[in-house]
Amino acid sequence: MLTAQEKGKKPRTDDAEGEGGEPIDAALLVSIEKLQQIQDEIDKVNEEADNKVLEVEKKYSKIRRPVYIRRNEVIQKIPDFWLTTFLSHPTLGELLTEDDQKIFKHLESIDVVESEDTKLSCSITLTFSYNPYFEDKKLTKTYSMSDDGKISVKTTSIKWKEGMDIVNGKTCMRDGDKRLLVDDSFFTWFSDKNSSRLVYGEMDEVADIIKEELWPNPLKFFNNGSEDEFVEEEDEGSDEEEDQDGSGEEGGDN
Amino acid sequence: MLTAQEKGKKPRTDDAEGEGGEPIDAALLVSIEKLQQIQDEIDKVNEEADNKVLEVEKKYSKIRRPVYIRRNEVIQKIPDFWLTTFLSHPTLGELLTEDDQKIFKHLESIDVVESEDTKLSCSITLTFSYNPYFEDKKLTKTYSMSDDGKISVKTTSIKWKEGMDIVNGKTCMRDGDKRLLVDDSFFTWFSDKNSSRLVYGEMDEVADIIKEELWPNPLKFFNNGSEDEFVEEEDEGSDEEEDQDGSGEEGGDN
């Protein structure tokens, strides 16, 4: 790693001006050192701001918690709520294989909980009714961020019933069926504990969508699905109108 | 648009159970209405939380302001600071054409200011020394968000000197040179006021990178550029090592 000082030793000198007759490199060196000090100051203010924002978020997370619990009780009365909601989401819908959908028929509730202690820790818990696929009632995937921003991932190790393990491909050859579900099943995502591809401080896309889109307002997607079915034709028409218009009035909702 | 009630009239009935002998549709209808009420409650809490976060951000924005002004004074003493910084950023570097780079030689300072009044309003101002390309000393691009999340964009209309307008392609055929810069020049981005492609509540990618990456810590990219030049060979070696390792210890820094 080069320090700011080392960087200062190789400036572009063509239109640079030294200060007070000092050698050009020394003047530049001083400026870059000063800049680094100011940057450190800004970083400190940003850290303080981040902590204050986190405080606010934790406070409201506590306020939301009992409301989410009440919401889950109501959702359980709506048949296939989470299956419909997942299928209606443009990205999550793509992720659910046929097998996933059969398993999601047994998904009773979802819970997303942000931890109070660490800077960013989020667990997603899926609760299932008795089902022919695995023994577990609850499956939990947790993302924890260490102080340096590194994310680590823990998941329940699913106890698949015999011949039902769709993640590790053990059912793939049954009945001559060659489907390989390893890359694109919800349960492959769920079982993936590898955090090496994660950007510092960020969860993967699926976890992020569940936490930031599905969990805050699942009804939006649940309702969306049926809208699409009904109004597909009109939608196409109005899209074309908007394109021709080009007045900058429409927003990208996709 | 279908309301939650209408949605409630077409449930999947295969494994749904009515409550207390009520017709199945009515029970479902009640649940979805309840769910909508709870969702409204959550939305209200979220709005309050957003406002509180905004308050904190505004407070720290005020604290940062004088530090940014001091930073700009120091940056002006470092030759080609912003040109080097832009070129060292993976996305912005791609955007700068040869002509852009010549113009950026005259870029004295950048300023990014978030407005106090509206929920999201951000202006990016570039200050240039006297140059052969345009008359303007300051070019400002402003993104303002209305209450419903719609973004509108205003920009300084650049007063190009004769034969220098690279945005509208007027120089393209000079000397038989057919370069068409319309799609990929920094100044094409700057001059683009069309907000129809913008997602509600979000600025475009270039504005977002300038505001969220370049402005908070330009030194990171300024230093990065020279690191790449110096340690390219070692870098390649260590990349391969990391790939072979696969222990999940490395983070995605890109």
pLDDT in tens, B32-50: 999 999 999 999 999 999 8
Residue B225: band (very low, low, confident or very high) from pLDDT cuts 50, 70, 90 = low
Provide mean pLDDT across the span A162-185.
58
* More confident of the two residues A165 and B3: A165
Establish whether this prediction's ipTM goes over 0.90. Answer: no
How many CB atoms are closer than 10 A to CB B200? 13
Provide mean pLDDT across the span A50-76.
93
Residue B17: band (very low, low, confident or very high) from pLDDT cuts 50, 70, 90 = very low
In angstroms, the separation between the Cα of residue A146 and the nearest Cα of chain B is 13
Is A217 in the B-facing interface, judged by CB distances under 8 Å?
yes
**CA nearest B54 in A: which residue?**
A53
First to last CA, chain A: 42
Strands ordered across the beta sheet of B121-128: B107-114, B121-128, B138-145, B151-155
Looking at the predicted structure, is the pLDDT value of residue B31 above 90? yes
In angstroms, the separation between the Cα of residue B68 and the nearest Cα of chain A is 8
Residues in contact with A177: Cβ distance below 8 Å, sequence separation at least 6, in sequence order = A171
pLDDT for the residue A114: 85
On whether the CB atoms of residues A32 and A5 are closer than 8 A, the answer is yes
Residue B167: band (very low, low, confident or very high) from pLDDT cuts 50, 70, 90 = confident
pLDDT for the residue B103: 95
Provide mean pLDDT across the span B93-98.
90
Cβ-Cβ contacts under 8 Å, B226 against chain A: 2, 7, 10
**CA nearest B48 in A: which residue?**
A60
pLDDT in tens, A9-43: 344 444 444 445 556 688 899 999 999 999 999 99
pLDDT for the residue A225: 59
Q: Are residues B41 and A68, on separate chains, in Cβ contact within 8 Å?
A: no
Of B19, B105, B219, the CB nearest to A35: B219
Q: State percent of chain B over pLDDT 90.
A: 48
Q: Are residues B7 and A226, on separate chains, in Cβ contact within 8 Å?
A: yes
Side-chain-facing half-sphere of B197: CA atoms under 13 Å: 6
On whether the CB atoms of residues A160 and A141 are closer than 8 A, the answer is no
Mean pLDDT highest for which of A7-16, A188-197, B137-146? B137-146
The CA distance from B70 to B74, in Å, is: 7
pLDDT for the residue A117: 61
pLDDT for the residue A4: 40
pLDDT in tens, A112-160: 998 766 566 899 999 999 999 999 999 999 998 887 778 889 999 999 9
Q: Are residues A78 and B32, on separate chains, in Cβ contact within 8 Å?
A: yes
> Which of B3, B46, B153, B226 best tests the A interface by mutation, with the highest count of A CBs <10 A?
B226
Q: Are residues B198 and A11, on separate chains, in Cβ contact within 8 Å?
A: no
Q: Are residues B56 and A60, on separate chains, in Cβ contact within 8 Å?
A: no
On whether the CB atoms of residues B252 and A201 are closer than 8 A, the answer is no
Provide mean pLDDT across the span B236-247.
41
Is A112 in the B-facing interface, judged by CB distances under 8 Å?
no
On whether the CB atoms of residues B116 and B203 are closer than 8 A, the answer is no
Is B19 in the A-facing interface, judged by CB distances under 8 Å?
yes
Q: State percent of chain B over pLDDT 70.
A: 71
Phi and psi at residue B79, to the nearest 5°: -60, 135
Provide mean pLDDT across the span A187-198.
86
Return the HEC string of chain B: CCCHHHHHCCCCCCCCCCCCCCCHHHHHHHHHHHHHHHHHHHHHHHHHHHHHHHHHHHHHHHHHHHHHHHHHHHHCCCCCHHHHHHHHCCCHHHHCCHHHHHHHCCEEEEEEEECCCCCCEEEEEEEECCCCCECCCEEEEEEEECCCCCEEEEECCCCECCCCCCCCCCCCCHHHCCCCCCCCCHHHHHHCCCCCCCECCCCCHHHHHHHHHHCCCHHHHHHHHHHHHHHHHHHHHHHHHHHHHCCCCCCECC
Report CA-CA distances (Å) from B228 to A29, A123, B89.
Answer: 20, 38, 11
Residues in contact with A199: Cβ distance below 8 Å, sequence separation at least 6, in sequence order = B251, B252, B253
The CA angle A100-A104-A110, to the nearest 5 degrees, is 125
Looking at the predicted structure, is the pLDDT value of residue B113 above 60? yes
Q: State percent of chain A over pLDDT 90.
A: 49
Cβ-Cβ contacts under 8 Å, A29 against chain B: none
Q: Which position has the token pair 């060292």?
A: B88
Provide mean pLDDT across the span B201-225.
88
Provide mean pLDDT across the span B90-99.
90
The CA distance from B254 to B242, in Å, is: 14
Q: Are residues A226 and B2, on separate chains, in Cβ contact within 8 Å?
A: yes
> Which residue in B175, B200, B190, B29 sits closest to B103, CA to CA?
B190
In angstroms, the separation between the Cα of residue A62 and the nearest Cα of chain B is 11
Mean pLDDT highest for which of A11-25, B49-63, B128-142? B128-142
> Which of A71, A152, A250 best tests the B interface by mutation, with the highest count of B CBs <10 A?
A71
Cβ-Cβ contacts under 8 Å, A67 against chain B: 38, 41-42, 45
Q: Are residues B34 and A74, on separate chains, in Cβ contact within 8 Å?
A: yes
Q: Are residues A38 and B67, on separate chains, in Cβ contact within 8 Å?
A: yes
Residue B237: band (very low, low, confident or very high) from pLDDT cuts 50, 70, 90 = very low
Provide mean pLDDT across the span A226-235.
42
pLDDT for the residue B149: 76
Q: Are residues A46 and B53, on separate chains, in Cβ contact within 8 Å?
A: no
A211 token code pair? 């936490």
pLDDT for the residue A249: 41
Looking at the predicted structure, is the pLDDT value of residue B110 above 50? yes
Of B52, B67, B230, the CB nearest to A56: B52
pLDDT for the residue A209: 92
Is A149 in the B-facing interface, judged by CB distances under 8 Å?
yes
pLDDT for the residue B84: 96
Looking at the predicted structure, is the pLDDT value of residue B244 above 50? no
In this structure, is the dihedral angle defined by the CA atoms of residues A79, A84, A85 and A86, taken in order, positive or negative?
Answer: positive
The conformational region for residue B80 under phi > 0 = left, psi -120 to 50 = alpha, else beta, is left
pLDDT for the residue A167: 79
pLDDT in tens, A64-97: 999 999 999 999 999 999 999 999 999 899 889 8
pLDDT for the residue B194: 84
Return the HEC string of chain A: CCCHHHHHCCCCCCCCCCCCCCCHHHHHHHHHHHHHHHHHHHHHHHHHHHHHHHHHHHHHHHHHHHHHHHHHHHHCCCCCHHHHHHHHCCCHHHHCCHHHHHHHCCEEEEEEEECCCCCCEEEEEEEECCCCCECCCEEEEEEEECCCCCEEEEECCCCECCCCCCCCCCCCCHHHCCCCCCCCCHHHHHHCCCCCCCECCCCCHHHHHHHHHHCCCHHHHHHHHHHHHHHHHHHHHHHHHHHHHCCCCCCECC
Q: Are residues A19 and B68, on separate chains, in Cβ contact within 8 Å?
A: no
Phi and psi at residue A252, to the nearest 5°: -80, 105
Q: Are residues B67 and A248, on separate chains, in Cβ contact within 8 Å?
A: no
Q: Are residues A196 and B247, on separate chains, in Cβ contact within 8 Å?
A: yes
Report CA-CA distances (Å) from A102 to A6, A97, A105, A166, A240.
Answer: 61, 9, 5, 12, 37
In angstroms, the separation between the Cα of residue B176 and the nearest Cα of chain A is 31
Looking at the predicted structure, is the pLDDT value of residue A173 above 80? no
Looking at the predicted structure, is the pLDDT value of residue B95 above 50? yes
B175 token code pair? 């000397």
Q: Are residues B7 and A63, on separate chains, in Cβ contact within 8 Å?
A: no
